[in-house]
Structure 1
Amino acid sequence: MSVLAAAGLWAVGLVLLVSGLSHARAPRSTRVALRAHGTLPPAAHRGVALVLGPVELVLALGLLAGGLGVLDAAAVRALGLGAALLCLAFAAYLRVVRRRTAGQEVPCGCGLGTTPVTGWSVVRAGLLGALALTGAALPTGPWDAGTGAPVWAQVVVAAAGGLALAVATAALPAARAVPAGLTTLTGAAR
């Protein structure tokens, strides 16, 4: 197993796990976001809201298992490609939403908080797609001590990298959002 492949798989898997749990627990908030986006036909909102969470959860659990090295390479590749397609579809969809709702603040609906759709939402989805593709493209399989580092050290480095990437990509849009009424320490409005 490549440390980079595992880190990418775990990063995307962790983000999809949190997002999938949120979507599965609260499909109504997903429907509200879809309605605010105004891109999909209203008849599709309920179905998308009900299916999205379980799809994300299946991909998440598969990517996490793939990063552990317990799945064969073909399964990991398929899961990585599926996650990449989903994330890149999110990026394209959010780009369309940004164009349609220019100047309006609409919820992202990505299951990672109440952040509005911004350019950073599009970037995050694209980054996750790239990480999933990286995890799918690199060698996977059982961990191997023949690389010079003990297996436990490889797993720790991959897990730390995956967690850091997951947190960074999940927090990206919220970290870049600037509240409308922000003032500096001197009291000047921004």
Structure 2
Amino acid sequence: MSLLGGAGALAVGLVLLAAGVGHLRGPRDTARALRAHGVLPGGSVGPVARTLGPLEVCLGLGLLVAATGLLPPGPARLLALAGTALCLAFAAYLWVVQRRVAGAPVPCGCGLGTTPVGPWAVARAGVLAALALLAVLAPVTGWQDAPGAPAGAQLAVAVLAGGALAVATAALPAARAVPEQLTTLARVPR
């Protein structure tokens, strides 16, 4: 039993599932963002845009199952390792995009809104990789009663922690995308 591994798998699973659903719902938006990034060869943009959503949904669902402790440690670790690799690839890709666009408002294409690529998008992918790595190093092997910590309480803590981590991590880039000049409701600059 690993509370940290469960929370990490749950957080990454939820974010990947949400991003995958976003990519499935808007493959043209994903392709448009990938083209704007200018990193992938032109012929690969369409296949990558069509593959990304199903990959994220499947991996996200797998990590959610792994977080329940229903999988043996081997498959749970493999899913978490795949999540770590995918999130590291996202971090490296977004780092390259960020350097390439040099502050231009290019959409992230993360499936989680229209946040532009920036250091916080790179940081989000890095945090997700670290959370997935927790599930590699300490996979959930089932929830057993431990002295002073009933299995239900352990599961509740893992679900609450994983949910909070998922929301905080997913919202990170959008929270930092603050306009340079804010105005009040009366259109008065602040």
Which bracket does the TM-score occupy, shorter chain normalised?
over 0.9
Aligned equivalent of 2:78: 78
Aligned equivalent of 1:57: 57
Equivalent pair of 2:145/2:151 in contact (CA under 8 Å): yes
Letter in 2 for 1:161: A
Aligned equivalent of 1:166: 166
**TM-score by structure 1 length?**
0.95
**How big is the alpha-carbon RMSD for the aligned residues of Structure 1 and Structure 2?**
1.5
Residues 111-146 of structure 1 show CA distances to partners (whole Å, capped at 9, x for unaligned) of 000100110000000000000001111142111103
Structure 1 residue ranges without an equivalent (≥5): none
- Output the CA distance in 2 between the equivalents of 1:162 and 1:89: 22
Aligned equivalent of 1:150: 150
1:184 Cα deviation after fit = 6.9
Residues 42-86 of structure 1 show CA distances to partners (whole Å, capped at 9, x for unaligned) of 100100011101111111111100110111100010000100000
Equivalent pair of 2:105/2:117 in contact (CA under 8 Å): yes
Q: Structure 1 residues 188 and 26, CA, compared in 2 at 3 Å: closer, same or farther?
A: closer
Letter in 2 for 1:151: A
Moved over 6 A (4+): none
Structure 2 residue ranges without an equivalent (≥5): none
- Output the CA distance in 1 between the equivalents of 2:19 and 2:151: 30
Aligned equivalent of 2:66: 66
Aligned equivalent of 2:175: 175
**TM-score by structure 2 length?**
0.95
- Output the CA distance in 2 between the equivalents of 1:126 and 1:39: 19
